Structure 1
Amino acid sequence: MAEALHVELVAADRTVWSGEATQISARTVDGDLGVLRGHQPLLSLLSPSVVEISGTNEKVIASVDGGFISVANDRVSVLAEHVWLGGEIDAAQARAELDEAKTAAGASAEFDPAVRLAQARVDAAAKAS
């Protein structure tokens, strides 16, 4: 496919997904990012969030615990210590983890990294179902 991005979604211990895509969206520490073919080179830090990859025949939904995104020459690499595919996340367990994280964080829950990661896992599970 001539008008595709080559995308690699990589965790510390494995390549989670690799293939051709038309679009990828992720949340960086500077805000939401959408990448299409021809995007300018970029290296940015990811926030704990949902990453969406629109492939040629599928849509991949994943949750990352932070990491990096690199874009150059229509190649996109998403690198994180942990990556969970949305379809592999137990939604009930993710909601329970979110509730626990919010309780532990108290008043600062909105800014707590554990809450953000738990919310990303809940969101990925919901979008994948």
Structure 2
Amino acid sequence: MFLEIITPDENVFAGEVDHATFPGSEGSFQVLNDHAAMVSSLGTGDLKIVSTHNKKTEEIHMAIDGGVVEILNNKVLVLAEHIEK
């Protein structure tokens, strides 16, 4: 699935990922390929991205401070207030 993370200041991330775990405002949740369409508010916490390229798995962690996430047709769009890489 394709993940794009945007803040008011910059485009933070864009690329294919295996799955991502988000800090929802009511608790964390994970998004996998073919996830049902949804929109959710995000709280403060750890955003974890996992992707595999050439049989090598990479895990990226970012601290996120609120925002929203939209999931539709294997595209995940995160509009974040602030992110620390």
Corresponding residue for 1:23? 19
> 1:92 corresponds to which residue?
none
- Equivalences for residues 50-61 of structure 1 within 5 A: 50-57=46-53, 58-61=58-61
Q: Any stretches of 5+ residues in structure 1 without a counterpart?
A: 86-129
Q: CA deviation at 1:18?
A: 0.7
Do structure 1's residue 66 and structure 2's residue 66 form an aligned pair? yes
Computing the radius of gyration from Cα coordinates, the structure with the larger value is: 1
Q: Which runs of 5+ in 2 are unaligned?
A: none
Question: What displacement does 1:84 show?
Answer: 0.8
Which has the higher relative contact order, 1 or 2, with Cα contacts under 8 A spaced 6 or more apart?
2
CA RMSD of aligned residues (A): 1.0
- TM-score by structure 1 length? 0.60
Question: Are positions 1:75 and 2:71 aligned together?
Answer: no
Q: Which has the higher strand share?
A: 2
- CA deviation digits over 1:65-97, x for unaligned, max 9? 100011110111111121111xxxxxxxxxxxx
User: Which structure 1 residue ranges, 4+ long, deviate > 6 Å from structure 2?
Assistant: none
Alpha-carbon distance, 1:31 to partner: 1.5
Aligned pairs, number? 81
Within-5 A mapping of 1:113-124:
none
Residue 59 of structure 1: CA displacement?
1.8
User: What is the TM-score of this pair, normalised by structure 2?
Assistant: 0.88
Residue 56 (structure 1) shift = 2.2
Conserved in 2, the CA contact under 8 Å of 1:24 and 1:35?
yes
